[in-house]
Copies of this chain bind each other. A is one copy, B any other.
């Protein structure tokens, strides 16, 4: 059996309550006793049992992350790997651990929510929803369960959320394309309903106002292969765009491949820019212009906010926190350089 406070108490000839006090750094404990207890703890290599603590304090020290499996697993989306990585890092600084669950389908996801929060396994949740998830959010709200949404809460104004301003980000990158002299800028997004995509399309359209009459919005499935196929069709057309803003780096990779196969020069014949600024951007010949979302910043803000909610601390700032994006310009969009 493992060492408990009772064992320590017996060996140090004090009460178990005193051991607990020493552990919590209670100032009222006499120095001599304190040292004696600490010595025994050290010797016995005592560590408090988090399970007992969790029960007693009604806090598990765990933050849950439930992600809906994207197309082809989370493996191929560096966003999630980044997210988890930064989350763990951020949490460890606050004495929290991360509990990850992946939901393969809608039904299962609800079950996980139930299991995770009704059983009080975790103290709070980080939500990442690619689409509006009304029922789940309402459920959490009804339970009064602490959670922060990474993304756009849409009509849920009361939900705490951390997000980029994807409308502005898309507007900026589209403007960048226009400034580079592209005349027919298109946008390659995901299917309608994916909030990130919808937001970025809105930004794209805003940028075009008064500058380009025709809006060229295309909807592709996720992944570089789908976008490669779609891009091939698009670029074969006689009225093809001369620049494409793409939803993410993977899809942009597909576009770049399609362009290369069709003999189009980047950035001269086709400008490309995308979102996420993953390591992939350095891998595309000459580099891919991409919007950096500052995932670390998103995560940091989200955890900060969540821990405040959990601790019931007053929240003075806005419920929606916006983390600025930055445009990392690489050669895939630098038409002006090429034409010099």
Contacts and interface: CB of A to CB of B under 8 A. Distances in A.
Contacts of A89: 102, 104
A62 to B, nearest CB: 7
Nearest to A59: B51
B88 A102 contact: yes
A198 interface: no
A18 to B, nearest CB: 21
A74 to B, nearest CB: 5
Contact of A85 (B60, B74, B78, B118): B74
A73 B54 contact: no
A52 B50 CA distance: 11
A82 interface: yes
A50 B72 CA distance: 32
A98 to B, nearest CB: 5
A282 interface: yes
Nearest to A60: B51
B101 A92 contact: yes
Given A81-B80, A84-B74, A45 B118 contact: yes
A99 interface: yes
Interface in A26-51: 45, 47-51
Contact of A282 (B45, B54, B100, B224): B224
Given A97-B101, A98-B101, A49 B282 contact: no
A257 interface: yes
Contacts of A72: 279
A120 to B, nearest CB: 6
Contacts of A61: 121
Nearest to A72: B279
25 contacts: A45-B118, A47-B118, A47-B119, A49-B55, A49-B119, A50-B119, A51-B51, A51-B54, A55-B55, A72-B279, A74-B81, A74-B85, A75-B82, A76-B78, A76-B279, A88-B102, A89-B104, A92-B101, A92-B112, A97-B116, A98-B99, A100-B100, A224-B282, A253-B283, A257-B283
Across the A-B interface, give the 10 residue pairs with the lowest CB-CB distance, nearest first. A47-B118, A81-B81, A75-B82, A51-B54, A50-B119, A76-B279, A88-B102, A51-B55, A75-B81, A74-B85
